[in-house]
Amino acid sequence: MSAVDIAGGVAAIQERIGAACARCGRKIDEVRLMGVSKFHSRDAAEAAWDAGIRLFGESRVQEAAEKFEGFREEKPGTELHLIGALQRNKAKAAVSLFDCVESADRDELIAELGRLAASRNTPLGVLLELNAGEESKSGYASEDDLFRGAETLLAWPNLEPRGLMIMAPYTTDTALIRRAFRSLASVQRKLETRFPEADWSCLSMGMSGDFEIAIEEGSTLVRVGTAIFGERRTGGSLTGGSLP
Ligand SMILES: *Cc1c(COP(=O)(O)O)cnc(C)c1O
């Protein structure tokens, strides 16, 4: 079976990020690259680290806890973000594992994170997730709901607001995708006006299929899985190519 060339994938994505930045007059260091290692092995995450990835995204608490056990001690400078839906009964484990929860989309969840984060030495980073409409399920359903989430977030001293996250609708219609990214940038400007005391500078938007559009619309963090690690194995057996 042919292994995925993770180092080659990282280099290719970094080049495309650079080209996208150049096209729209942005600096390459304005955009961070996250390696989304969900459903991939620890070995794959280590290969990405060796290729220069320092920020990893995982969508499940338990999987991340197992995969990244001892990882940060071995590989200093590693940062780990939760990008998937968080159940309240997993909040405690999430607060002790992640540097940032990007998928905060309910006031009760934020309050729970706030209570639990009191036990941390450093504040827990939080991004508020906006729902992109269409068929997506996650994220605050409206701007006003999200603003209330921002108020809740600001009330907890050991939570650190960092900005916003969105998943573009699952479609090939690039106009719809662009519109979702643009709406997130617009909500960010409103947040900055309404709550100038906090830092909302992170715009986490863009995945393997749409990160270049996201960069054109102001993304500061692109979350790339498939284009680095290959297709995810979401069940079934791995047979590994054809036999001779
Ligand atoms: C899985 C996932 C990604 C990565 O998606 P790819 O298309 O594999 O790059 C990014 N963001 C979130 C929230 C995800 O769940």
pLDDT for position 234: 67
pLDDT for position 238: 37
C-alpha pair distances (Å), 76 with each of 20, 72, 90, 131, 231: 29, 5, 25, 34, 27
- Going by CA atoms, what residue is nearest to atom 12 of ligand 1? 83
- Chain mean pLDDT for the chain: 94
| For the CA of 102, the nearest atom of ligand 1 | 13
Q: Which tens digits make up the pLDDT trace of 193-241?
A: 999 999 999 999 999 999 999 999 999 999 999 999 999 976 433 333 3
Q: Give the chain's residues under pLDDT 50.
A: 1, 235-244
Would the CB of 171 count as within 6 Å of ligand 1? no
Q: Where are the beta strands (DSSP E) in 22-170?
A: 32-36, 55-58, 79-82, 100-104, 124-130, 159-166
End-to-end Cα distance, the chain: 11
Would the CB of 165 count as within 6 Å of ligand 1? no
> Mutation test of ligand 1: which of 204, 223, 228, 232 has the most ligand atoms closer than 8 Å to its C-beta?
223
Query: Given the structure tokens 């729902």, which residue do they identify?
Result: 131
Measured in Å, residue 243 CA sits from the centre of ligand 1 at 32
- Going by CA atoms, what residue is nearest to atom 4 of ligand 1? 225
Instruction: Please state the pTM of the whole predicted model.
Output: 0.94
pLDDT for position 241: 33
Can you give the length of the chain in residues?
A: 244
C-alpha pair distances (Å), 171 with each of 96, 210, 242: 35, 10, 32
